[in-house]
Structure 1
């Protein structure tokens, strides 16, 4: 069986893909195809871990990433402001290169998924009362836990992200 999907937009960050999630709606509700190995995400289709984050309104998670994880994310319930930042030039030692960032609103009302390659940081801010954020991970070797991740403060001026908040709820490493 082949599942239909389409790339929705080209963004200024190489390798990142925004995809429309296939859904069927009827009187009972809806059925989504969140992931299929038919989706064009390169060799990253061998995902090894699925995670779900449930966050309340005004929570901001990020900006985080690492050098070896491929991620495929979507919002299952609620609405978030989602930000991406290409950190790969800094990982190659180019401290002077401008960071390329891109922001998009993700919601369960208009389901989309985003494929994120290694070296691209991501973060999200919850716009709804609650949001359920789903992501698949693929990585080589051991799990890239917090000590292996890159964290950049959400309000770092190099990001040039216009977050829709001024005092979000943060965990310690994001402050």
Structure 2
């Protein structure tokens, strides 16, 4: 079954909606089909270079806002496998009409949705349900020297996190603010 792409206000950021096949045995979801996303002009001809799985226990935990800088920038497709998260993409492309804008969606296994985040956009999320797990498909590999991001509480972004922030890593607390 073809997935549906829902456009967001940020160019290149899409919510991917899929309908699982369900019967008395359970359910099956085709969570990524490259030729389908290429046809929809969203993933294009990018390959998958890395797959990551993240589990976060505490409700309110924020992870992010992370990205890989050029020349190691990467696209991500993020899907929630367990629990619920509020997933955020932030446009940090200097030449973009939506630079500094953010868009968020709630990702859950029940909704079978995912967020496609292009190169140059930061990603973060807040855990809404304990023990939430995310699966990431990356178009590039992680390179430590290219790791960067912006502060989750940057006043220029004004992200309206749904819960009080909890349990941030030292790394995330020390990310820079956007330049004024």
Give the TM bin, normalised by the shorter chain. Answer: 0.7 to 0.9
1:30 CA drift (Å):
1.6
Which contiguous aligned blocks of 4+ residues in structure 1 show a shift greater than 4 angstroms? none
Deviations 1:109-133 (A, max 9, x none): 1111222111100101110121110
1:22 CA drift (Å):
3.3
Unaligned runs of 5+ in 1: none
Deviations 1:14-54 (A, max 9, x none): 1112111231122222211111122321112x111111001
Q: How many residues align?
A: 163
Output aligned runs, 1:112-131, within 5 Å: 112-131=113-132
Secondary structure of 2:27's aligned partner: strand
Which moves more between the two structures, 53-62 or 143-152? 143-152
1:80 CA drift (Å):
0.3
RMSD, aligned CA: 1.8
8 Å CA contact retained: 2:62, 2:165:
no
Alignment-derived partner of residue 83 in structure 2: 78
Matched residues in 2 for 1:98 and 1:37: separation? Answer: 28
1:98 CA drift (Å):
5.4
8 Å CA contact retained: 1:71, 1:117:
yes
1:145 to 137, 143, 146: 143
Alignment-derived partner of residue 173 in structure 1: 171
1:65 to 64, 67, 79: 67
Matched residues in 2 for 1:168 and 1:127: separation? Answer: 11
Q: Which has the higher strand share?
A: 1
Alignment-derived partner of residue 161 in structure 2: 163
Matched residues in 1 for 2:26 and 2:153: separation? Answer: 38
Alignment-derived partner of residue 14 in structure 1: 11
Alignment-derived partner of residue 51 in structure 1: 52
Alignment-derived partner of residue 176 in structure 2: none
